[in-house]
Structure 1
């Protein structure tokens, strides 16, 4: 073998070794990030300060859900309409040191809902006094009137839990499509939109069951794709085969609302919380 051939061979071997090393480092880094995320979520879920919120973990599967969406301690995340903050108490502590949590809460503009205003003010008080909420940033969101809940192209993740039906009930297709367009605008390129929603069987009519609190999975996917998102994964983490989605008071017939009171209470408690779709989209 001449000198030139030997040099070429050595270069090729070195290149292959470098590629293998780089791949190993990348894999180890990904595993480390995954372990860090799982550890952060585990720590939060084990915190006794969560109180009675932990009882609902069996229905909401927060660890599996947040890992499915890809949450890490470095994630900048917006939660749309966090309400009382059930998920705030999980997400905010997990990201506040290295990432960011923004609560895009109910709107309080003049002439708006008194309920929204009370809920918003209650949430602000929790941020000021409860360690699990401290450090959270607060903005406001309305599906058609307040869409600048975060700067354009600024966040890694937007999450919304059981809210799409509210926008559909209040404003039908236009409100849902406007909301998803707002999410798309706030996310960075490659950012994740995570949606959990009460799931209506595809055999039922969405319009006829508008006020049931359930949405067809195909409808939600179509609305997100219309805004420019790509569906990258679905999960049955939050599925419940016992739920038919056909109840006298809609989804609120089931726990935790139990709108019928003691009427058939045992039956609905046995069903548990609703059947839910879990969808992951990317910008």
Structure 2
């Protein structure tokens, strides 16, 4: 009896171990995080931003063509480049409107392009980004709400989602991460708090033809976020509650 119990326990441990191994971060992403070209300021944010787990969800593989949409300072571009490798390509999109608003966005894009040979810069108005077709992944992190800023026409999000749908190959992934607003919040919080209601994103992206695959509120979630402050408020900055939505273009 005791021996059979021990065998059962060992078998259970073996299964659990196999499950953990299967969930391990792919080697290309582990190596990308250790890339020596990454600034220490970027690496220091990895614990909070969980880039390996996020890009594993995005199914990033060597040789792929991917886009970092609204690349900001290039945090994810610098990870995607070594992750897809020399046979892959990363399209680093920075909107012309954002560069006009903050010139550093342009210089940050130039810096990333100078460091990584497989990164192609794209700079155009947000409603006509010029993404190439045949992409495996389009990633946008903490930027979807910007499509609803009052500075842009009301239809901007719909226009962008349709362009991304066209750019992705059948089966391609659209991965959206953003600061969560309180459920039921109006779109005006995009301007006042730089947040957006997750339900709005789901509705808009699915309207473009995408299918929702995963809705993850835990990977980057923070249940202690009161959702009533702007994301730059010192009391919450860097610790906002964020949602992750993975959509796929039907084959």
Give distance in 1, aligned partners of 2:169 and 2:189. Answer: 36
Give unmatched runs, 5+ long, in structure 1.
Answer: 1-30, 259-266
Shift of 1:241: 1.1
TM-score by length of 2: 0.81
Q: CA deviation at 1:135?
A: 2.2
1:155 aligns to 2:121 (yes or no): no
Whether contact under 8 Å (2:222, 2:240) holds in the other structure is yes
Is 1:58 aligned to 2:42, yes or no?
no
| 1:172 Cα deviation from its structure 2 partner | 5.9
The correspondence for 2:118, drawn from 135, 149, 174, is 135
Query: What is aligned with 2:175?
Result: 194
Q: Aligned residue pairs: how many?
A: 226
Name the CA shift for 1:113/1:38 in 2 (closer, same or farther; >3 Å).
closer
Shift of 1:149: 2.3
The answer as to 2:237 corresponding to 1:281 is no
Q: How does 1:36-185 map to 2 (within 5 A)?
A: 38-50=26-38, 51-107=40-96, 114-128=100-114, 130=115, 133-144=116-127, 146-150=128-132, 152=133, 154-169=134-149, 170-171=151-152, 173-185=154-166
SS in 2 for 1:94: helix
The structure with the largest helix share of the pair is 1
**RMSD value over aligned CA atoms?**
2.4
Q: Contact 1:107/1:117 (CA < 8 Å) preserved in 2?
A: no
The structure-2 alpha-carbon separation of the partners of 1:268 and 1:219, relative to structure 1 and needing over 3 Å to count, comes to closer
Note if contact 1:77-1:155 (Cα within 8 Å) is conserved in structure 2. yes
Q: Is the 8 A contact 1:72 1:95 kept in 2?
A: yes
